């Protein structure tokens, strides 16, 4: 394993039994330890297949996948010890209390010997639970059945539970689907705190592109292959044309002026001026006609994403 | 050690879940109550004279075998559903072997079914069924064997079911005919040939007959109520149980990741 690659995926191929084509078709990528990595793509692109392979739940057809230096096929147990997973569907037991859900997780990972009640558990466990409860604000509800908690609370509970065994990588498969905006922001604030405090690597798949804006690195996957990769800024830059939209009361005069300055523009008022050779600043300096409209187009990751996916589909 | 810890955790979760789920507790008693209280008493009133044995005792011992077998096998089948939502996802992602998951689940469902049969026996006493307490106590070790057998049968069926829909459609079809083939509430010593063959193939037959053969052992009704001797029943249950468990677990583990 290279010094700081916590996830190494090399030529990964997955073809389901009886399928005519590969669901994942030879993808290669690396994730640096401690970084925030996002895997984006439309439904059916191969995201869930990829995350299932990376989390040892599914065998791959060819290629190699290593998590924290361990092969997912031959050393799945070691891999599982190093990862935490937040599934798309909640994986809490609704009939059990919040504390029991945490206790059973801790028992499954052999962190503490199994005991049938909270009071019989080790003191270190009790201390840990009360710490975690105060971090997510669940002090009062720790011994209530999970079904009485709100959606956002449940997600937070799943996150703290998945961190009990101190995994090196936390996989989040569309973690905020179905949450209201306030809960979503809340969960994200908490996740970012965790990532900044600890050395944990976050591997995210999501449909909400604004959630991926703060990623360190993004891969966009479509029809089983990686169609774009880079930092959010790089992805936006490489694809989206930056432009400004301007207009003037005397649009004819403005049009003539743009023509004269040999700027790359389109429209007849409002005008769209592409920022290929000039910055927005220098374009404005060239213009003498008083402007009534000035709008600098700042592309979002979503714009870039839509453009990438649309272009890729047009190719096929 | 990690796997033992996990097995106990998984088993305990099943019991904790049962104790909190009142609807499920109620539901698990409704079938036995219908079988014993309604079907049993009506047959006892109308047919018992010619039988030469107490029909309600016969039905109750049958229901014990059927409940143990059905409850554990159905509990294992629920893993198919659980693994897509619920806590089971947690079990499959934990660094423990698939064998400890299945073992924990069988153990848990066995304990759950034991609680159910305690209720059934209590119900029998309330109804005034003349149950022989010593014969019942003699059943204790065999009760575990039968529950484990049901669990092994569940693993075998589950390993061949691809998804929840298949499980919901196929499992009742495999289970319900066995109620009649195994003679839970109908004597099956004499049957037309095709039914006789089906009856002797049905695994539940041996589960029910094992308990009855132990309960009636040494009693005058033994010959009229029991098909095979306890040793033969135990050998079939143990042999088939091991085959179901080994083959089922092998297929389950193989198919699980290899889609």
Query: Taking CB atoms and an 8 Å limit, are B20 and A109 in contact across chains?
Result: no
* Nearest Cα to Cα of residue A207 among A175, A250, A240: A175
Token pair in block for residue B62: 């049958």
Give, in order, the Cα–Cα distances in Å from A58 to each of A91, A280, A297, B107, B256: 18, 50, 43, 27, 8
Residue B98 forms contact with A (CB below 8 Å): no
Average pLDDT over residues A131-153: 83
> What residue ranges of chain B have pLDDT lower than 50?
none
The DSSP letter of residue A65 is E
* Among the ranges given (A58-62, A256-260, B6-10, B27-31), the one the predictor scored with the smallest mean pLDDT: B27-31
Query: Taking CB atoms and an 8 Å limit, are B259 and A16 in contact across chains?
Result: yes
Residues of A in contact with B23 (CB under 8 A): none
Residue B20 forms contact with A (CB below 8 Å): yes
Token pair in block for residue A274: 């592409």
Q: Which long-range contacts (CB under 8 A, 24 or more apart) does A115-121 make?
A: A116/B12, A118/A143
- Name which of B23, B88, B257 to mutate to probe chain A: the one with the most chain A Cβ atoms within 10 A of its Cβ: B257
CA B106-B108-B113 angle, 5° bins: 90
Q: What is the pLDDT of residue B85?
A: 63
Rounded-to-integer distance, Cα B198 and Cα B209, Å: 15
Query: Taking CB atoms and an 8 Å limit, are B86 and A107 in contact across chains?
Result: no
Q: How high is the ipTM of this complex?
A: 0.78
Strand partners, A248: A291
Restricting to A residues 235-274, those with a Cβ less than 8 Å away from any Cβ of B are none
- pLDDT per position as a tens digit, B145-154: 999 999 999 9
Restricting to A residues 127-146, those with a Cβ less than 8 Å away from any Cβ of B are 145
Is a pLDDT exceeding 50 seen at residue A235? yes
- pLDDT per position as a tens digit, B52-94: 888 889 989 999 999 999 989 988 887 877 776 667 788 888 9
- pLDDT per position as a tens digit, A188-234: 888 888 888 877 999 999 877 888 888 999 999 998 999 889 998 88
Is a pLDDT exceeding 80 seen at residue A241? no
Query: Taking CB atoms and an 8 Å limit, are B20 and A145 in contact across chains?
Result: yes
Q: Closest Cα of chain B to A151: distance in Å?
A: 14
Rounded-to-integer distance, Cα A170 and Cα A162, Å: 8
Q: Closest Cα of chain A to B195: distance in Å?
A: 39
Q: What is the mean pLDDT of chain A?
A: 86
Q: What is the pLDDT of residue B186?
A: 83
Rounded-to-integer distance, Cα A67 and Cα A76, Å: 9
Residue A55 forms contact with B (CB below 8 Å): yes
Which chain A residue has the Cα nearest residue B2?
A110
Residue A18 forms contact with B (CB below 8 Å): no
Residue B259 forms contact with A (CB below 8 Å): yes
CB atoms within 10 A of CB A313: 12
Residue A61 forms contact with B (CB below 8 Å): no
Q: What is the mean pLDDT of chain B?
A: 86
Q: Strand A36-40: give its sheet, edge to edge.
A: A83-86, A169-173, A201-205, A36-40, A217-222, A225-230
* Nearest Cα to Cα of residue A6 among A39, A32, A36: A32
* Nearest Cα to Cα of residue A17 among A54, A60, A80: A60
Query: Taking CB atoms and an 8 Å limit, are B95 and A78 in contact across chains?
Result: yes
- The percent of residues in chain A predicted with pLDDT above 70, rounded, is 97
Rounded-to-integer distance, Cα A90 and Cα A110, Å: 22
Rounded-to-integer distance, Cα A73 and Cα A80, Å: 11
Strand partners, A170: A84, A202
3-state secondary structure chain A: CCCCEEEEEEEEEECCCCCCCCCEEEEEEEEECCCEEEEECCCCCCHHHHHHHHCCCCCCCEEEEEECCEECCCCHHHHHHHEEEECCCCCCCCCCEHHHHHHHHHHHCCCCCCCCCHHHCCHHHHHHHHHHHHHHCCHHHCCCEHHHCCHHHHHHHHHHHHHCCCCCEEEEECCCCCCCHHHHHHHHHHHHHHHHHCCCEEEEECCCHHHHCCCCEEEEEECCEEEEEECHHHHHHHHCCCEEEEEECCHHHHHHHHHHCCCCEECCCCEEEECCCCCHHHHHHHCCCCEEEEEEECCCHHHHHHHHHHHHHHHC
> Parallel, antiparallel, or unpaired: how do β-strands A24-32 and A265-266 relate?
unpaired
The DSSP letter of residue A144 is S
Q: What is the pLDDT of residue A1?
A: 47
At residue A157 the predicted structure's pLDDT band, cuts being 50, 70 and 90, is confident
Average pLDDT over residues A249-253: 87
Which chain A residue has the Cα nearest residue B90?
A91
- pLDDT per position as a tens digit, A79-131: 999 999 988 888 888 888 999 999 999 999 989 988 888 899 999 999 988 88
Token pair in block for residue A69: 């230096």
Restricting to B residues 215-234, those with a Cβ less than 8 Å away from any Cβ of A are none
Q: What is the pLDDT of residue B4?
A: 87
Rounded-to-integer distance, Cα B135 and Cα B223, Å: 16
CB atoms within 10 A of CB B117: 23
Residues of A in contact with B85 (CB under 8 A): 89-91
CA atoms within 13 A on the CB side of A117: 2
> Pick from A83, A87, A93: which is nearest to B13 by CB?
A93
């Amino acid at each position: 394993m290279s010094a700081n690659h916590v996830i190494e995926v090399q030529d990964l191929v997955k073809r389901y039994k009886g399928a005519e084509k590969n669901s994942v078709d030879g993808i290669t990528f690396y994730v640096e330890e401690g970084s925030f990595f996002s895997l984006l793509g439309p439904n059916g692109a191969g995201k869930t297949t990829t995350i299932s392979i990376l989390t040892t739940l599914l065998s791959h057809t060819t290629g190699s996948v290593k998590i924290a230096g361990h092969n997912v096929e031959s050393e799945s147990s070691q891999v599982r010890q190093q990862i935490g997973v937040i599934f798309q569907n909640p994986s809490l037991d609704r009939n059990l209390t919040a504390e029991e859900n945490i206790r059973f997780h801790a028992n499954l990972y052999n962190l503490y010997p199994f005991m049938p009640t909270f009071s019989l558990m080790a003191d270190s466990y009790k201390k840990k639970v009360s710490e975690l409860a105060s971090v997510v604000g669940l002090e009062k509800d720790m011994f209530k059945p999970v079904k009485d908690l709100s959606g956002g609370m449940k997600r937070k509970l799943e996150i703290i539970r998945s961190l009990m065994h101190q995994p090196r990588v936390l996989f989040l498969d569309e973690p905020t689907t179905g949450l209201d905006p306030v809960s979503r922001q809340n969960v994200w604030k908490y996740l970012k705190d965790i990532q900044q405090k600890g050395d944990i690597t976050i591997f995210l798949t999501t449909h909400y592109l604004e959630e991926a804006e703060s990623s360190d690195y993004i891969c966009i996957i479509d029809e089983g292959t990686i169609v774009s990769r880079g930092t959010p800024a790089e992805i936006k830059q490489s694809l989206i044309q930056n432009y400004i939209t301007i207009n003037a009361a005397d649009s004819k005069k403005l049009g003539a002026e743009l023509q004269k300055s040999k700027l790359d523009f389109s429209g007849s008022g409002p005008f769209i001026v592409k920022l290929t050779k000039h910055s927005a600043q220098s374009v404005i300096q060239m213009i003498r006609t008083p402007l009534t409209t000035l709008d600098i187009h700042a592309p979002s990751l979503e714009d870039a994403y839509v453009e990438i996916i649309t272009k890729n589909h047009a190719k096929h | 050690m990690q796997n033992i810890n996990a097995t106990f955790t998984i088993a305990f979760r099943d019991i904790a879940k049962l104790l909190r789920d009142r609807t499920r507790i109620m539901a698990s008693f409704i079938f036995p109550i219908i079988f014993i209280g309604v079907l049993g008493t009506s047959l006892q009133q109308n047919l018992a004279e010619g039988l030469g044995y107490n029909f309600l005792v016969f039905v109750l011992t049958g229901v014990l075998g059927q409940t143990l077998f059905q409850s554990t096998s159905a509990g294992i089948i629920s893993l198919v559903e659980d693994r897509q939502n619920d806590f089971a996802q947690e079990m499959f992602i934990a660094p423990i072997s698939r064998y400890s998951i299945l073992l924990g689940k069988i153990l848990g469902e066995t304990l759950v079914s034991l609680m159910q049969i305690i209720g059934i026996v209590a119900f029998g006493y309330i109804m005034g069924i003349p149950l022989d307490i010593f014969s019942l106590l003699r059943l204790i070790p065999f009760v575990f064997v039968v529950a484990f057998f049901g669990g092994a049968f569940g693993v075998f069926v589950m390993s061949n079911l691809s998804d929840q829909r298949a499980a919901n459609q196929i499992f009742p079809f495999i289970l319900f005919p066995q109620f009649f083939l195994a003679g839970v509430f109908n004597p099956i010593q004499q049957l037309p040939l095709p039914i006789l063959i089906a009856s002797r193939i049905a695994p539940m037959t041996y589960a029910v007959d094992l308990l009855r053969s132990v309960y009636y052992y040494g009693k005058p009704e033994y010959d009229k109520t029991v098909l095979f001797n306890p040793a033969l029943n135990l050998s079939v249950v143990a042999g088939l149980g091991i085959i179901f468990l080994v083959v089922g677990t092998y297929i389950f583990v193989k198919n699980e990741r290899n889609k």
